[in-house]
Amino acid sequence: MQPSRPQHQQIDTLIYARWIIPVIPAGRVYEDCALAVDGGRIAALLPAAEASSRYSAAEEVHLGQHALIPGLVNTHTHAAMSLLRGFADDRPLMEWLQQHIWPTEQKWVEPGFVADGSRLAIAEMLRSGTTTFSDQYFFPESTAEVAREAGIRAQIAFPVIDFPTPWSRDGEDAVQKGLALRDDYRSHERIDVVFAPHAPYTVGDATLEKIAVYAAEAQVPVQMHLHETTGEVERALAESGERPTERLARLGLLTPQTLCVHMTATSDRDIELLQESGAHVAHCPRSNLKLASGFCPAAQLLDSGINVALGTDGAASNNSLDLLAEANTAALLAKAVSGRAEALPAQQALAMATINGARALGIDHVIGSLEPGKSADLAAVDLGGLEQQPLHDPVSQLVYTGNGHNVSDVWVSGRPLMRRRELLSLNETDVILRTRYWRDRIAGEIR
C-alpha cells in the first residue's frame, strides 16, 4: 500500500507576488513568495513553492511584476471636499477658508453632497492603494454609509465646532449627534466613530474638557487640527499666553489616543509634550505646501520617538488623495527641512503610510503590516513599467518613482475591491456623473 499524500489545506485566496513587503519586520523584502488569505485574514507568508504544496485555494492571484504591500492608511482627509477640488486654488489658508470654502459649504453642504463627494474620494483612494481612511467632515453619517457600502475601512471623526455649521447648532449638539452615530456603528468590523474637535480656534475649553472626559471614559480616539500655521500659534499666545499643545495638555486632551493633525509650527516644548503624552502626528505635506502653511519637522519628530503618520487632507487643498505621492513628498521634504539626505528614508516613508497610520488610528493590531492573524488589507503595485526600471530596490521604487496609478489590485478583509484597475464595489461611471452634477450646480451659482 502506498502512503497517502498529505491533503492540501483549503483556503480562500493565494496571492503570488514578485515582491512582498510586509513592513513588519522592518526592512524585509520577500522575493517570489505568496500570501495565504482565509476568512478575511492573513494565514501565512511563505515561499511560492511551499504555498502551492501546502494550500489549495478557491482563488489564485499571480502578480509577476508587482510588489504586494499592506493597504495604505490615510490618517486625515475630508472626503466630501473632493467636490471642491480646484475650486479656490492658490490662496493662503485663512483666506481660502473664510472667503471661499466656508461660504460655499454653508450654501451647498447637505447629506447628498457629502455622500457623492465621499463616493468620489473613496473611489480615488481605492484606486491609489488606500484601504483605510480617517475622515473629518459634516454629515459624517453619510460618509459612514458610503464607506460601509464600498467595503473600505474607515474611521469617521465627527466634527465638533462651537458655532453653527451645516450639520450642528453648536459643540454640544455635535457631540450628541456624534455619540449617537458611534452607537450605530459600535459593533461594525470596519467602521469606527471618534471625536474630532475641529481646531483650537473653533472649540472652547468647556467643550474640549467634555470631550476629554468622554474620550477617557470610553477609550475613544480624538483627532484635531493643531499647529497648522505659525499664525494660529501666535494668536493663541497673544490671547492666552499658552501654546495650543500646552492648552490641550492642561485640558487632558493630549494623550496616546490623540492624533494631532499638521503640527507645522513646532517648538522644542511642543515636541516634549508630544513625547510625554504619547500623542500621534498626522503629517499632510502636500496640503501644507500648497497652502503655504509651513513645514512639519517629520524627521525630527520621528527621531524623538513620536509616531508620525500620513494624511492627504482634503482634495480641495491637495488636490490629490494619492498616499504614495504623499509618502514621496514627505520623504523629499524631510531631507530639505532637516538638511540631511539620509533623513526619512524610503522604508520609513512606507511605514508612515502603513503601520504608523494604523498606530495613529489605534488599530495596528488589525492592519498596517502583513503579519499572520491581521486583516488581509492589501495593495498590489505594478513595478514592471519603464519608469520603474532598472529595479534595484522595490521599496525605493515605491516611494521615489511610484504613484497611485501603478496600483492594480486592492483587498480589504480579503475581499477584492479593485482588480486590474477596475473598481468592484463602486460604479466609476456613476461616480463621475454625480461629480459633474455638483460641479455644474456650483458653477452655475458662481456665474
Helix (H) or strand (E) holding 288: helix 285-290
End-to-end alpha carbon distance in the chain = 86
Torsion angle of the four alpha carbons 394, 396, 401, 407, in this order, in degrees rounded to the nearest 10: 50
Q: Which residues contact 405 (CB under 8 A, 6 or more apart)?
A: 128
Output the pLDDT for position 5.
46
DSSP state, 203? S
3-state secondary structure of 57: strand
Domains of the chain: 9-70+372-413 (2.30.40.10), 72-360 (3.20.20.140)
3-state helix, strand, coil in the chain (%, to 5): 40, 25, 35
Phi, psi of 309 (to 5 degrees): -115, -175
User: Up-side HSE of residue 84: CA atoms within 13 Å toward CB?
Assistant: 25
Cβ atoms within 10 Å, residue 80: 31
Q: Which residues contact 315 (CB under 8 A, 6 or more apart)?
A: 77, 81, 82, 84, 85, 121, 124, 321
Read off the amino acid at residue 438. W
Cα 90 off chain centre by: 24
Strand locations in 248-385 (E): 258-262, 280-283, 308-310, 378-382
Output the pLDDT for position 297.
97
Output the pLDDT for position 6.
58
Nearest residue to 123 (alpha-carbon basis) of 82, 66, 62: 82
Signed CA dihedral, 324, 132, 420, 128: sign only? negative
Phi, psi of 133 (to 5 degrees): -140, 150
Task: Specify whether the CB–CB gap between 15 and 37 falls below 8 A.
Answer: yes
CA distance 36 to 15: 7
Strand locations in 48-96 (E): 55-70, 72-77
Q: Give the residues of the chain that fall short of pLDDT 70.
A: 1-6, 445-447
3-state secondary structure of 283: strand
Output the pLDDT for position 4.
45
Task: Specify whether the CB–CB gap between 125 and 150 falls below 8 A.
Answer: no
Nearest residue to 178 (alpha-carbon basis) of 194, 202, 199: 194
CA distance 141 to 200: 24
CA distance 115 to 218: 28
Query: Whole-structure pTM over 0.95, yes or no?
Result: yes
Cβ atoms within 10 Å, residue 61: 21
Task: Specify whether the CB–CB gap between 86 and 319 falls below 8 A.
Answer: yes
Signed CA dihedral, 346, 296, 129, 60: sign only? positive
Helices of type H across 48-101: 48-54, 93-95
Cα 421 off chain centre by: 20
